[in-house]
Amino acid sequence: MAASVAWRTLAAVLVATAFGCGHAAAEDVPLPLPRPSQADWSVPLSFRAAAGPNFDSAAVSADPTACDYRLAAVALIEPVPRLIGPGDCGGGDMVQLDQVVLADGARVDIKPAPVLRCEMAESLAGWLREDAGPRLAKLGAALRAVENYDDYECRTRNRIFGAKPSDHGKGIAIDIRSFTLADGRRIGITDPAVSKDLRTALRDSACARFSTVLGPGAAYHENHVHLDTDTHWKAICRWEVREPPATTLVSVRQTIDSVPLPPPRPAIADVANSRPGNI
């Protein structure tokens, strides 16, 4: 009996000690910092923080620039005089480029309408009017729309955390995915099934006009082409004009060969001799 009481007493002491140690350990663990409010994440602390240290309020004006006047003669635009940060994002003399007017007066929609600096929009309009439009017209139908994959966006390069700011955040870059012709055909700018001569001509003309051209062969640009007018870099032209996969026709041939042929049709004489009464 005495031994049983002793064991129960020892067990009680051990349990009490264990719970006491666990409580002490819990008190030693620091609590996490309070989560900032949503307002702290999305709203800059001040206008100066949003605009950046190099912002010059005296340079902001709603008056059209010389570039605005030139661009308005060949495109339908909506002025966006200034976009504000945060950080290095934004810029002056921005426009929304809704349509480009071809030499014959036909209008080409940019979908969705990109927001770009005027000089970049002017380069894009010139490329569509003088290079891409005439080359696409050789397919038998005029250019009517351009698919815009990305334009102004305040982000890092290729959306990689910690990377340098993208030229998209400065309004000097656009990503093009495809063209639409007047007859409804969609021409993918990087589609190997599209004429190689056409894609080569588009690449060469783009590389002659823009400072940076990135397409297939450049990381993250397999299904579109990036164009920008960044003058701080040596000109880059990285766009592989690829052939259709060689296995495409082979696989089709193999598929056809694998389909079993129907059994041979019996001869007419055999059918007649098998009828009842002819035996």
Retrieve residue 246's tokens.
Answer: 């060689």
Q: Euclidean distance between the first and final Cα of the chain, in Å?
A: 111
**pTM reported for the whole predicted model:** 0.68
CA dist 83 and 169 (Å) reads 10
45 Cβ contact partners less than 8 Å away, ≥ 6 residues apart: none
**Is residue 128 classed exposed, middle or buried when 0-12, 13-18 and 19+ CB atoms within 10 A define those classes?**
buried
Residue 262, pLDDT score: 73
Q: In 3-state terms, the chain is what percent helix, strand and coil (to 5)?
A: 40, 20, 40
Residue 161, pLDDT score: 78
The number of angstroms, rounded, from the C-alpha of 181 to the middle of its chain's C-alpha atoms is 21
Residue boundaries of the structural domains of the chain: 53-247
C-alpha separations of 182 from 5, 110, 134 in Å: 97, 14, 13
129 Cβ contact partners less than 8 Å away, ≥ 6 residues apart: 74, 100, 101, 102, 103
Residue 45, pLDDT score: 53
Say whether 31 sits in a helix, a strand or coil: coil
148 Cβ contact partners less than 8 Å away, ≥ 6 residues apart: 110, 111, 112, 113, 114, 174, 175, 176, 177
Residue 252, pLDDT score: 52
User: Is the Cβ–Cβ distance between 227 and 203 less than 8 Å?
Assistant: no
**Residue ranges for the chain with pLDDT beneath 50:** 1-26, 33, 35-43, 248-249, 271, 274-279
Residue 244, pLDDT score: 84
Residue 164, pLDDT score: 84
